[in-house]
Amino acid sequence: MNIFKLSFSYLKKSPLNTGLNILLLALGIATITTLLLFNHQFRNNLVQNAEGIDLVVGAKGSPIQLILSSIYHIDSPTGNISLGEVQSIINNPMVAQAIPLALGDNYQGYRIVGTERSYLALYEANIEKGEFWKYSKEIVAGANVANKLQLSLGDTIVSSHGVMEAGQAHEDEPLIIVGILEETNSVLDQLLLTSVESVWDVHEHDEEHEEEHDDHDHEEGDEHDHDHDEHEEEHAKHKLEVSTEPFGFITNENLNKELTSLLIVYNSPLAGAMFPRFVNDQTDMQAAAPGFEITRLLSLLGIGFDVLEVFGFILILASMLGIFIALYNAMKERKYDLAVMRTLGGSRIVLMSQILLEGILLVLSGSLLGILFAHLGIAYLSGTYQQAEQFNINAWVILPEELIILNGAVILGILSALVPAIIAYRTPISTTLSKES
Partner 1 sequence: MQFLNLKHRYENSEYTISYPDFTLNEKEHLLIIGGSGSGKTTLLHILGGLLKPTQGEVFIDGTSMYSMSESGLDRFRRNHIGIVFQRIHLISALTVIENLALAQYLSKQPKNKPLLQDLLSELGIAEKAKKYPNELSFGESQRVGIARAVINKPSILFADEPTSNLDDKNSDKVLKLLQDQAEKNDASLIIATHDERIKRHYNNVLNLDNEVIPVGNG
Least distance to partner 1, CB of residue 322, Å: 20
Least distance to partner 1, CB of residue 431, Å: 8
| Listed ranges 42-50, 149-157, 407-415, 428-436: which one lies at the site for partner 1 (CB under 8 A) | 428-436
Question: Taking CB under 8 A as the rule, does residue 189 contact partner 1?
Answer: no
* Cα dihedral: 251, 257, 260, 262 (round 10): 20
Measured CA to CA, the distance from residue 408 to residue 312 in angstroms comes to 14
Strand-pair category, 261-266 with 138-141: unpaired
3-state secondary structure of 157: strand
Question: Taking CB under 8 A as the rule, does residue 113 contact partner 1?
Answer: no
| Cα 251 to the center of its chain, rounded Å | 38
Write out the H or E segment, with its range, that includes residue 135: none
Site string for partner 1, 345-384 (x = CB under 8 A): xxxx-x----------------------------------
Among residues 282 and 437, whose Cβ is nearest to partner 1? 437
Binder among 132, 266, 328, 336 for partner 1 (CB under 8 A): 336
Helices 15-50 and 290-343: crossing angle, nearest 10°?
Answer: 160
Question: Taking CB under 8 A as the rule, does residue 12 contact partner 1?
Answer: yes
Question: How would you class 153 by CB atoms within 10 Å of its CB: exposed for 0-12, middle for 13-18, buried for 19 or more?
Answer: middle
| Distance spanning both ends of the chain, measured CA to CA | 27
Question: Taking CB under 8 A as the rule, does residue 430 contact partner 1?
Answer: yes
Half-sphere exposure (Cβ direction) of 128: Cα atoms closer than 13 Å = 14
Measured CA to CA, the distance from residue 414 to residue 357 in angstroms comes to 8
Among residues 28 and 359, whose Cβ is nearest to partner 1? 359
- Residue 325 to residues 220, 329, 336, 417, 419: CA-CA distances in angstroms? 87, 6, 19, 9, 10
Among residues 7 and 416, whose Cβ is nearest to partner 1? 7
Least distance to partner 1, CB of residue 344, Å: 4
3-state secondary structure of 125: coil
| Listed ranges 132-140, 294-302, 338-346, 375-383: which one lies at the site for partner 1 (CB under 8 A) | 338-346
Least distance to partner 1, CB of residue 3, Å: 8
Binder among 152, 295, 343, 384 for partner 1 (CB under 8 A): 343
Write out the H or E segment, with its range, that includes residue 263: strand 261-266
Among residues 194 and 353, whose Cβ is nearest to partner 1? 353
Least distance to partner 1, CB of residue 360, Å: 18
Question: Taking CB under 8 A as the rule, does residue 434 contact partner 1?
Answer: yes
Measured CA to CA, the distance from residue 371 to residue 31 in angstroms comes to 9
| Listed ranges 22-30, 165-173, 339-347, 401-409: which one lies at the site for partner 1 (CB under 8 A) | 339-347
Question: Taking CB under 8 A as the rule, does residue 329 contact partner 1?
Answer: no
What is the binding site for partner 1 (CB under 8 A)?
A: 1-2, 5-6, 9-10, 12-13, 336-337, 339-348, 350, 429-431, 433-434, 437
